[in-house]
């Protein structure tokens, strides 16, 4: 009983101190997550896809077990990222009931090429399950106007599923010049398949 009373008292004191003197707690997200997901670091993918040693910065999809080395933009991590407005954010879940099907706001500029977009307005890239997920990511990144989805066969870290790279300007097939050709640590050489471009209107 005595201990109980002591506990309540110290709690009250702690609250009083907290109200009287606001305390700023600085948390270094980079050291917590062991990766820099800030906008200034291309949201975790500072090396663009065509650069040697590049790797995806994030994964947005339903199969995090396939990418244990990437932070999956779902669940509890979204709540943590929300406190850090300059890092990548999780897309907001869709509102239900869904509206009747309308345009998603994107126009396809090329399809099924063997080259990925290579351009200086690169924002970030990661992995996704579907083209729709890539567009959803673009909608959640400020300034994003263009998505390029492709299969990076023999690519880094098994990123053969679907790579999603984001740009601030729209691009046509003429910029789809990254055809792979990077030798991987295991000696294989990557190449690009099913490259699609989508411009946000
Ligand atoms: C995409 O292009 C390849 C050749 O590069 C072809 O074999 C394949 O059928 C095409 N896929 C679609 C869906 O058009």
Going from the Cα of 11 to the center of ligand 1, the distance in angstroms, rounded, reads 66
- In-domain check, residue 17: no
CA of 111 to the centre of ligand 1 (A): 9
CA distance 150 to 95: 28
pTM of the model: 0.78
Q: Are the C-beta atoms of 138 and 146 separated by less than 8 Å?
A: yes
| For the CA of 193, the nearest atom of ligand 1 | 5
Half-sphere exposure for 96 (CA within 13 Å, toward CB) = 1
Which residue's CA is the closest to the ligand 1 atom numbered 11?
A: 112
Structure tokens at 197: 């471009």
Residues of the chain scoring pLDDT < 70: 1-26, 94-95, 97-101, 156-160
Whether 74 is in a domain gets the answer: yes
Please tell me the residue having the least CA distance from ligand 1 atom 8: 112
Domain count of the fold of the chain: 1
CA–CA gap between residue 190 and residue 160 (Å, rounded): 10
pLDDT of residue 22: 57
In a domain, 158, yes or no: yes
> Is the distance from CB of 140 to CB of 192 less than 8 angstroms?
no
Q: What share of the chain is helix, strand, coil (3-state, %, to 5)?
A: 30, 25, 45
Q: Which atom of ligand 1 is nearest to the CA of 112?
A: 1
């Amino acid at each position: 009983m005595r201990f109980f009373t002591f506990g309540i008292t110290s709690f009250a004191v702690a609250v009083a101190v907290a109200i009287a003197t606001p305390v700023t707690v600085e948390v270094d997200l980079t050291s917590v997550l062991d990766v820099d997901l800030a906008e200034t670091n291309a949201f975790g993918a500072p090396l663009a896809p065509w650069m040697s040693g590049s790797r995806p910065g994030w994964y947005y999809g339903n199969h995090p077990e396939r990418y244990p080395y990437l932070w999956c933009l779902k669940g509890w991590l979204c709540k943590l990222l929300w406190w850090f407005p300059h890092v990548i954010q999780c897309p907001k879940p869709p509102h239900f009931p869904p509206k009747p099907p309308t345009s998603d706001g994107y126009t396809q500029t090329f399809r099924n090429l063997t080259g990925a977009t290579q351009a200086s307005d690169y924002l970030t890239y990661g992995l996704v399950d579907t083209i729709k997920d890539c567009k959803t990511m673009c909608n959640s990144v400020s300034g994003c106007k263009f998505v390029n989805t492709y299969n990076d066969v023999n690519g880094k870290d098994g990123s053969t599923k679907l790579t999603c790279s984001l740009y601030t300007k729209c691009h046509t097939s003429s910029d789809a010049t990254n055809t792979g050709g990077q030798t991987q640590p295991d000696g294989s050489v990557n190449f690009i398949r099913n490259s699609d471009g989508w411009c946000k209107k």
